[in-house]
Structure 1
């Protein structure tokens, strides 16, 4: 299981780093954006654990100590990666406010959140609590809120709706990525795994009877259905919100 990324110890210093845009490049055109892009490439190729100051320096062709003149450490580098990734959520895509009514915009936000996480699986390993807001995160937040602005919700309700949408999508992506990692680690398909586990589970259950769980479990996909669950939950959420809007 990939390790969780920790938050940096000095958030105010990180804030200055996230918003600095005029730092001149150093040796070999080294710069904060170049370091961040190199780290993103490593994470996409090999996962978050593969991102170290040494691996990034090697990719850039400089000494590891050179990087510390630009980025204090790995924790800060991960924050830079998260912000850069957020800025790319709608790159080459329509902005949420441009896709139709608020419900279609909500679906677009959920879809992009889900697809973006699957394209960058390491991102689900970053602790979401108390983020330090950089330009990428804030612009993404503003783009998404703009699609919900003016539909009849209060500002607090807009924020809660958006958080609910993105949390549903991120949870589904985390579930899907977890299944992919488990399948790869075991070398078994879901069907092969259940062929092995089914008889053992039946023996372990003995005389225990769980008729509803048995019926529903047989009808549902064995490993679950992240996208189906996301669609169901999202539509239920949007139906509930629609009931609160002015007629």
Structure 2
């Protein structure tokens, strides 16, 4: 089923989008492709953020007229679908599973984190419901195979993949926000003094105990690894 968009083109459903031709059915052979348009949109989002991705801006990048883009992506939502699947192609769809599914799943999570750090707009794009395209489905197939030794049923394995992706997306969103904040050394020292004063007031014994604990590595990779271990090691397969 289709509907008319503001651009004058008919919206496309998932089957038409992913299983149909990526070329307009009518008119002369175009000088660009859906792949080129999607790559331009991804490049724009990587450089300037998701809010910078408009049909007009993408058209300017590929040297096309705005109206001609609607033959490939009738609206920004469809373009986002294409962008998400485009970068999903960077995730390995094949790989030798070790049979140790928790370790394999952690490796997959690290791959997802690396992808989202390369494309910081991706967590926000994933926050709304997306229909998985061929690249995303290929990666999902790999993850479900990795989880097979867990003994969990197929539906639960899909839920675990969704849970893992949401965790990685949330963590990367926080991580990139912290990077942008980039507190000065002086501000960090002031915060440490403040927390030490609060811990010493006798009203926050739990915080005092936490602050007195041995220091942990606070690199982004180390923090992500600790959080990930708690998530995956705590999965109940009973």
What runs of 5+ residues in structure 1 fail to find an aligned partner? 1-7
Which residue pairs with 2:71 in the alignment? 69
Aligned pair 1:212/2:212, yes or no? no
Structure 2: 5+ residue stretches without partners: none
- Higher mean displacement: 135-144 or 14-23: 14-23
Question: Given the superposition, is the C-alpha separation of residues 46 and 169 from structure 1 closer, same or farther in structure 2, using an over 3 Å criterion?
Answer: same
Find 1:85's aligned residue among 84, 87, 90. 87
Deviation at 1:41, TM superposition (A): 1.1
Alpha-carbon separation, structure 1, partners of 2:101 and 2:136:
21
Deviation at 1:229, TM superposition (A): 4.1
* Equivalent in the alignment of 2:21: 21
Which of 183, 187, 190 aligns to 1:193? It is: 187
2:147 pairs with 1:143 = no
- Give me the CA root mean square deviation: 3.4
Residue equivalent to 1:4: none
Trace 1:60-209 onto structure 2 (pairs within 5 A).
60-90=62-92, 95-98=94-97, 101-183=100-182, 188-189=183-184, 191-197=185-191, 209=203
Deviation at 1:81, TM superposition (A): 0.3
Q: Is the 8 A contact 1:14 1:132 kept in 2?
A: no
Secondary structure of 1:41's partner? helix
The number of aligned residues is 227
1:21 offset after TM fit, Å? 3.4
Aligned-partner Cα distance in 2 for 1:119–1:220: 33
Mapped partners of 1:210, 1:77: distance in 2: 50
Show the 5 A alignment for 1:219-238: 226-238=220-232
Residues 218 and 81 (structure 1), Cα distance of their counterparts in 2 relative to 1, 3 Å cut: farther
CA contact (8 A) 1:105 1:147 kept: yes
C-alpha displacement of 1:127: 4.6
Q: Which whole-Å CA distance do the structure 1 matches of 2:114 and 2:61 have between them?
A: 27
Instruction: Write 1 or 2 for the structure with the bigger share of helix.
Output: 1
Change (3 A) 1:204 1:108: closer
